[in-house]
Amino acid sequence: MIEWSEQHKQIRSMVRRFVEAEIVPQIDELEHGDTPPYDVLRKMMRTFGIGDMAKGKFLADLERKKKGEVREKKEREGFHGPSADAMAMQLIPIIELCRHSPGMVTALGVSIGLTAGAIERKGTLAQQEEFVPPLLTLEKVGAWAITEPGSGSDAFGSMRASARRDGDDYILNGSKTFITNGPFADTIVFICRLEGAAGPDGELPIVSFILDRGTKGLEQSKPLRKMGMHSSPTGQLFLDDVRVPRSRLLGESEEGGARKSAKDTFGSERTGVAAMALGIIERCLELSREYAKTRVQFGKAIGEFQLIQLKLAKMEVARMNVQNLVFRQIELAGNGKHMDFAEASAAKLYSAQSAMEVCLEAVQLFGGNGYMAEYRVEQLCRDAKVLQIYGGTDEIQISQIARTLLRDA
DSSP state of 148: B
What is the reported pLDDT for 86?
A: 85
pLDDT band of residue 157 (cuts 50, 70, 90) is: confident
Helix axes 125-136, 50-66, angle to 10 degrees: 170
User: Of 173-187, 255-269, 300-314, 365-379, which range is least confident?
Assistant: 255-269
What is the reported pLDDT for 330?
A: 92
Query: Are 365 and 291 a contacting pair, CB within 8 Å?
Result: yes
Burial tier of 377 (Cβ tally within 10 Å: 0-12, 13-18, 19+): buried
pLDDT band of residue 261 (cuts 50, 70, 90) is: low
The yes-or-no verdict on residue 409 having pLDDT over 70 is no
The yes-or-no verdict on residue 290 having pLDDT over 90 is yes
Q: Which domains occur in the chain, in start order?
A: 6-139 (1.10.540.10), 145-257 (2.40.110.10), 260-408 (1.20.140.10)
What is the reported pLDDT for 78?
A: 37
Question: Which residues, other chains included, contact 67 with Cβ-Cβ below 8 Å and sequence gap of 6+?
Answer: none
**What's the chain's Rg over C-alpha atoms?**
22
Query: pLDDT for 65-98, tens place per residue?
Result: 888 875 544 443 333 456 888 889 889 999 999 9
Please give the mean pLDDT across all residues of the chain.
91
What is the reported pLDDT for 3?
A: 86
The answer to whether the Cα torsion of 60, 66, 72, 78 is positive or negative is positive
Query: Are 320 and 297 a contacting pair, CB within 8 Å?
Result: no
pLDDT band of residue 269 (cuts 50, 70, 90) is: confident
Closest CA to 385 of 358, 346, 345, 347: 358
3 three-class SS? coil
Q: Which residues are catalytic?
A: 269
The yes-or-no verdict on residue 158 having pLDDT over 90 is no
| Residues 300-311, mean pLDDT to the nearest whole number | 97
Closest CA to 358 of 336, 343, 380: 380
What is the reported pLDDT for 392?
A: 87
Helices (H), ranges, 295-393: 306-334, 341-366, 377-385
